[in-house]
Structure 1
Amino acid sequence: MKALSIAATGMNAQQLNLEVIANNIANINTTGYKRARAEFSDLIYQTERASGVPNRANQAIVPEGAMVGLGVQTAAVRNLHIQGSLISTGNDLDMAIVGRGWFQVETPDGQTAYTRSGAFNTNAQGELVTIDGYTVVPGITIPQGTSEITVSTSGEVLARVGNNSVPQTVGQLTIANFVNEAGLEPQGDNLFKETAASGNPVVGVPTDPGYGQIKQKYLEASNVDPVKEITDLISAQRAYEMNSKIIQAADEMASTVSKNLR
């Protein structure tokens, strides 16, 4: 009985859907997190009667056939790169991107990763780094004795050293854009990696056409909507229950047939 395997694919799909929703809710307070959504597609169809062919030799054409679907499969888990709300922190090294763009960081293996989390700090050498110690690209070093740091909306970093009244430019932040942001591969630690699907990064200066701007002393919050997630959770739970009911009904029908054959 095909209904058993069809309903089983539905239960597997809703289990994955539930896992995606759970991960969204778990990261509701993760800086720069982008909520994910499970996408599904129907499986191959089994043809019981083909359409568009004669019903018999030299007879009329069948106007519509009978095709039975064999269930559902996972097509993708898509990250929705929608702007999150801004949270004021008052920290000079906290930065948020308003609009399109990604901060670039260098991982320990020498590769470049991308993040929307601008919770930066400095290491022992004064280099601008992430909270995990990854160096921000391009490299920016804050001079020793800096009393004030200012980051413009265009990403220019200025530092006022000691008692100097005039700040000096110590670096220029750049951000990267991608043709297909949904194709970026999440790596954990708020990092994403480019793939063949995302295309190569297009690096530019904040506030340039097509790029967002930098907001100093702010962080971008997760774009997870608790109400939306709870609604999706209830929907996934009900869909799982309905698929389990189909399995139960199919089992009872098979049991009835088995009893009648005895």
Structure 2
Amino acid sequence: MIDALYISASGLSSQQQQIDVISNNLANMQTPGYKRSRVAFTDVTGTTAGQAQQGLATNAVGAGAQITDTSPVMLDGTLQQTSNTWDIAIQGAGFFEIQPTGDVGQDGQRLYTRAGQLKVDSDGYLATVGGQRLAQNIQVPTDAKNIVISSTGEISATLGSDQQTSIIGNLELATFTSPEALRSVGGNDYAVTPASGDASLGKPGDAGVGTVTQGYVEGSNVDLVTEMSALVLAQRAYQLNARVLQASDTILDTINNLNR
């Protein structure tokens, strides 16, 4: 009966984390480029590895559940038209590589984002809305007009009184062997982990690399129906684990009162 207390407590803890993840997903439904997170549950065995190898305790009751991983789901979000010059949505695989600012990435590590709401900073460089410059250090001339960004990332514009267009920069996208293993550092940014592999830079439209679309932003890939369904299931699982905890407490109270 004591085991039931710990097992149900592990279920309560796991379902609480599940609800926290779902809550965060719902809170970011309107966040451009946000990728919904999901949790991975595993059971906790009541048998040690040594006992299992010896074939012992085969009828042992499990010790509950735990969450072993929380990872982003790297599916494309829906495109939302803005018609803004520097709003650039990524379709397919790829991230913008950016130079970190502040405490994150002080070791020089680059960060990666899908949020394509870009702007030209005070020095003329392309940067995110948070002020982080693109790693390509693309500088936009002050007299640039009629700016066009192709699906392959080529940025062209007419300069000054010129009639002909000039190429002023080329966007690159970073891809990873396992993008789901990237670590979220907040602000729509991700950092490389050993599991994700190193970034591989490529031209939009190349094999394995997505394309970019000017005048659009990629919305969150959070699906309201999916998240609400998962929330209902998590609530019910939490409720059932709480009832198991209550039932175990009631039985223990009965046992304690047998001698009275």
Q: Give 4+ residue runs of structure 1 displaced > 3 Å after superposition.
A: 50-54
| SS of structure 2 residue aligned to 1:219 | strand
Please list, as runs of the form range in 1=range in 2, the aligned pairs for 1:134-149 lying within 5 A after superposition: 134-149=132-147
Unaligned runs of 5+ in 2: none
Q: TM-score w.r.t. structure 1 length?
A: 0.92
CA distance in 1 between partners of 2:52 and 2:93 (Å)? 48
Distance in 2, Cα, partners of 1:52 & 1:135 = 54
Tell me the TM-score normalized by structure 2. 0.92
Query: Which residue of 54, 63, 81 corresponds with 1:70?
Result: 63
Contact kept in structure 2, 1:51 and 1:66, CA below 8 Å: no
2:16 maps to amino acid: Q
Q: What's 1:215 paired with?
A: 213
Identity within the alignment, %: 36
Question: Is structure 2 residue 41 aligned with structure 1 residue 43?
Answer: no
Give, as a single letter, the amino acid of the residue that structure 2 aligns with 1:9.
S
1:1-262 alignment, distance < 5 Å = 1-46=2-47, 65-108=58-101, 109=106, 110-262=108-260
Range 100-109 or range 9-18, more displaced? 100-109
Return the offset for 1:65.
Answer: 3.8
Amino acid at match of 2:209: Y
Give the whole-Å Cα distance in 1 for the aligned partners of 2:33 and 2:193: 20
Partner amino acid, structure 2, of 1:150: V
The alpha carbon displacement at 1:66 in A equals: 1.1
3-state SS of 1:87 partner? strand
Deviations 1:123-177 (A, max 9, x none): 1221101101111121111111222111111101111123422111011111111
Letter in 2 for 1:4: L
Question: Displacement, 1:94?
Answer: 0.6
Residue type matched to 1:145 in 2?
D
Q: How many residues align?
A: 252
Please say if residues 11 and 240 of structure 1, whose CA atoms lie closer than 8 Å, have aligned partners that are also in contact: yes
Point out the more displaced range, 155-164 or 223-232.
155-164
Confirm or deny: 8 A CA contact 1:158 1:167 kept in the other structure: yes
Q: Any unmatched runs of 5+ in structure 1?
A: 55-61
- For the pair shown, which has the larger CA radius of gyration, 1 or 2? 1
SS of alignment partner, residue 67 of structure 1: coil
Q: Secondary structure at the match of 1:147?
A: strand
Change (3 A) 1:6 1:141: same
